[in-house]
Structure 1
Amino acid sequence: MNIPITNSIRHGRRYRQQGMVSTLIALIVLVVSLLAAMALMRSVDTSNTIAGSLTFRQSVLQEAERAYVDAQQKITFTQPTSDADNAPLGYYAEPQPATARSAGDVPNVLVNAVSGSIGSVTPLNSTDNSVTYVVERLCPTSGAATVTACIVPGASLLGATSSNQTSDNLTPFDNGAYAAFRLTVRVNGPKGTTAYVQTILR
């Protein structure tokens, strides 16, 4: 007795086709899931990076304040002491050769961390940041400051103009002139990050 097998073959082919479609759909779902997982991991990494950057930025500002206090305690900003360089303390009576950066001109001695030519702040165990700085008097050359040559507090730094101003919180000189000082702080973080902060001292 002959049994027709045409229907059985058709059903077998249909089942195999359905199985292939199901496998293909499963592979597509798996790939999409992997891509979603990778995107999630990247998002988490980005969030952690941003959070770490913000934390480091806040830490940099705090370290800059510490450098400011340290410079005020170690460096004499009145004449005649301020008329000459004091490299071991990171003080210079005139602007130093600098590397142009978006945040301002950073003295090369600070960029290159030249030993014996920059000031340093005792590191805190809580941050492990390395803090160094340079203070520059904004006069074209060393020697006695003059109102006509030096940049004074309140003057336009971009135009390099100067004006004679009198105020209790300015740094006085023997000849009645006033000069501004620029503090540049470098902070090296524990993960190889580096940041610079500049401010004008009066």
Structure 2
Amino acid sequence: MKLPSPLPRPRERGVVLLFCLIILVVLLAGGVAVVRSMNASLFSAGNLAFKRDLVNRGEQAAQKVLTEFRTGGLAGATADIDSNQALNYSAKTLPTNARGIPQALLSTEAYGAVATTKIENAVDKVTIWYVIDRLCSDVGAAAALGPKGCVYAPLNTQVTGGSSQRAREDLPPPATLIYRLSVRVDGPRDTQVFLQSSFTKPQT
């Protein structure tokens, strides 16, 4: 019995292999994009962690300043009349840039002209620069400068009716002056944070 001859096999053109290679290239590009996205996310998260850490470190300056006002060189009734470079204190408002940051914090040279003390941590490579300025137009006793020359915290019992300008000129100034603490914290990877707060002299 004669068997039928087999049909000729079709020629292979490699279309399936071509599609597989294209799919592999697409998957490879997608994998690279995912890795780069993860690296960018980790970098951003690391920067945010550095910034949060530096904000927390800046509290050291606030604690030191409050101690100076309670029991240190700025605790006396007349201790705030004149500037004190050793305590980073200015008895009059320091010049600032357009964003309200004192010029003394923007460069080391300007800082040295106003203040001499800074908080350093050589192990963590963190440096805290800070200045305190009294919100007054000039040095001297606040009573002599009056409400036109200094900024005071308003009293809860203070009644200011009519013209606000007349009230500012006619009413006696409250007893609490406002001071401003400005802080610059430098950290690793050229991270830099500026902090600012206002306060009144704490009760001893």
TM-score, structure 2 as length reference: 0.69
Contact 1:67 1:132 in 2 (8 A): no
Where 1:40 maps in the other structure, the secondary structure is helix
Q: CA 1:71 to 1:134, structure 2 compared with 1: closer, same or farther past 3 Å?
A: farther
Match among 139, 142, 150 for residue 142 of structure 1:
139
Percent identity (aligned): 19
Contact 1:152 1:179 in 2 (8 A): yes
User: CA shift at 1:144, angstroms?
Assistant: 2.0
Matches within 5 A, 1:37-48: 37-48=35-46
User: CA shift at 1:40, angstroms?
Assistant: 2.4
User: CA shift at 1:38, angstroms?
Assistant: 2.1
TM-score, structure 1 as length reference: 0.70
Output the CA distance in 1 between the equivalents of 2:15 and 2:152: 85
Counterpart residue identity of residue 78, structure 1: A
Match among 98, 107, 120 for residue 123 of structure 1:
120
Q: CA 1:53 to 1:110, structure 2 compared with 1: closer, same or farther past 3 Å?
A: closer
Q: Which ranges of structure 2 fall in alignment gaps of 5 or more residues? A: 1-6, 156-163
Matches within 5 A, 1:1-202: 7-8=8-9, 10-13=10-13, 16-60=14-58, 62-69=59-66, 71-72=68-69, 73-76=72-75, 78-79=77-78, 81-101=79-99, 105-113=100-108, 114-124=111-121, 127-146=124-143, 147-149=146-148, 150-154=150-154, 164-166=173-175, 178-202=176-200
Contact 2:51 2:193 in 1 (8 A): no
Counterpart residue identity of residue 141, structure 2: A
User: CA shift at 1:153, angstroms?
Assistant: 2.5
Counterpart residue identity of residue 165, structure 1: P
Contact 1:119 1:134 in 2 (8 A): no
Runs of 4+ in structure 1 off by over 6 angstroms are none
Q: Which ranges of structure 1 fall in alignment gaps of 5 or more residues? A: 1-5, 167-177
Q: CA 1:26 to 1:164, structure 2 compared with 1: closer, same or farther past 3 Å?
A: same
User: CA shift at 1:125, angstroms?
Assistant: 5.1
